[in-house]
């Protein structure tokens, strides 16, 4: 039960807590001062920017890292996340943290001219980055249609406008071609894209994967759920009986496709009966909005309609 009044022991505990809080506050202020000092020193060291005179950049998203390299600005990248694994040249760039979770200390020590992100785990981190005097740009990119605009924005920020505009136009034209082809298709095959199998996850209406399936001429069975990504049951998939299944993960010892076709109760699923269950995908093509989007759609189209041909 709660006491009606504070006794002396409680008062002493409260004073201890208050003094501890003051100490922590002082420590926090000191840490912020140290980061700002490190930021200022680094700023003097790099005031001439990159060797090309263009901004030095840290990317906090794999999709943006791919775009930066695709428009010819890879030599300006001075930091990336541990998830930024493409192109291979990106692996030579120092890691400053996880996807959406950068280390503020590392950012301060490098002190780039520009930090780009799509989403931070803690938005307060964005404010702290700005407090270091570093320009921060959020570049939202959730659908294939967002990619051209994201490329153009990166082109302006990095000084590679011409290259970015050219790539953006190429992707826009490619998306238009796939969309026209898909709209002309009288019957679209139903597709189940299994992102993970423990637990079972797939993409719903409005997800990036759903948009890719639509561009490839298929119909995502997850579109009945108004969520980006969600957990499902095996019974739900069996009832939907998709005509094509694509496994976006690797399985130990046996292929994911073979393992799926041996699941109890899945023998009645159309894709299993027709043996249209596939795996061995580079899931970054299907889960990461980036400059390789047309390659991903083309591969997905070949998976759904293997007897047809489509320009990459």
At 6 the pLDDT is 35
Residue with tokens 């790099």: 46
CA dist., res. 290 & res. 64, Å (int): 7
Q: How many CB atoms lie within 10 A of CB 301?
A: 23
- Residue among 296, 310, 294, 311 nearest 167 (CA): 294
CA dist., res. 122 & res. 145, Å (int): 26
Long-range contacts from 203-210, C-beta under 8 angstroms, 24+ separation: 203/228, 203/229, 204/228, 204/229, 204/230, 208/142, 208/143, 208/144, 208/286, 208/287, 208/289, 209/286, 209/287
* CATH 3.40.50.1980 placement within the chain: 57-166, 187-304
Token pair in block for residue 247: 């496994």
CA dist., res. 193 & res. 221, Å (int): 9
Q: Which residue has the higher pLDDT, 307 or 80?
A: 80
Average confidence score pLDDT of the chain: 85
CA dist., res. 61 & res. 81, Å (int): 7
pLDDT digits (tens, 9 = 90+) for 16-71: 434 443 444 444 434 444 444 444 434 433 443 555 678 999 999 999 999 999 99
pTM value is 0.80
Token pair in block for residue 280: 């061995």
Instruction: Say whether domain 187-304 belongs to CATH 3.40.50.720.
Output: no
CA dist., res. 12 & res. 106, Å (int): 40
pLDDT digits (tens, 9 = 90+) for 182-197: 999 999 999 999 999 9
Fold for 57-166, please state it: Rossmann fold (3.40.50)
At 5 the pLDDT is 36
CB-count burial class (<10 Å; 0-12, 13-18, 19+) for 10: exposed
Beta bridge partners of 208: none
């Amino acid at each position: 039960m709660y006491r009606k009044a504070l006794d002396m022991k409680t008062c002493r505990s409260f004073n201890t807590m208050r003094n501890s809080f003051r100490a922590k506050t002082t420590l926090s202020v000191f840490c912020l001062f140290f980061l700002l000092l490190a930021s200022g020193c680094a700023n003097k060291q790099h005031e001439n920017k990159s060797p090309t005179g263009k901004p030095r950049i840290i990317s906090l998203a794999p999709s943006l890292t791919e775009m930066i390299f695709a428009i010819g600005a890879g030599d300006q990248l001075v930091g990336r996340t541990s998830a930024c694994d493409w192109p291979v040249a990106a692996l030579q760039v120092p890691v400053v943290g996880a996807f959406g979770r950068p280390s503020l200390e590392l950012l301060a020590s490098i002190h780039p001219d520009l930090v780009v992100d799509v989403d931070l785990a803690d938005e307060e981190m964005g404010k702290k980055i700005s407090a270091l005097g570093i320009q921060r740009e959020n570049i939202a990119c959730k659908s294939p249609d967002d990619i051209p605009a994201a490329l153009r924005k990166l082109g302006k920020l990095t000084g590679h406008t011409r290259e970015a505009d050219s790539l953006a136009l190429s992707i826009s034209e490619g998306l238009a071609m796939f969309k026209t082809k898909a709209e002309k298709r009288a019957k679209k095959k139903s597709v189940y894209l299994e992102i993970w199998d423990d637990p079972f996850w797939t993409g719903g209406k409005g997800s990036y994967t759903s948009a890719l399936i639509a561009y490839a001429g298929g119909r995502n069975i997850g579109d009945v759920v108004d969520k980006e990504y969600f957990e499902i049951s095996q019974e739900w998939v069996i009832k939907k009986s998709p005509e094509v299944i694509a496994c976006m993960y690797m399985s130990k010892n046996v292929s994911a496709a073979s393992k799926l076709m041996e699941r109890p109760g899945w023998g009645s699923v159309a894709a299993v009966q027709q043996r249209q269950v596939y795996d061995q995908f580079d899931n970054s093509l299907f889960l990461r909005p980036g400059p390789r989007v047309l390659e991903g759609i083309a591969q997905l189209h070949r998976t759904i309609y293997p007897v047809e041909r489509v320009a990459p």
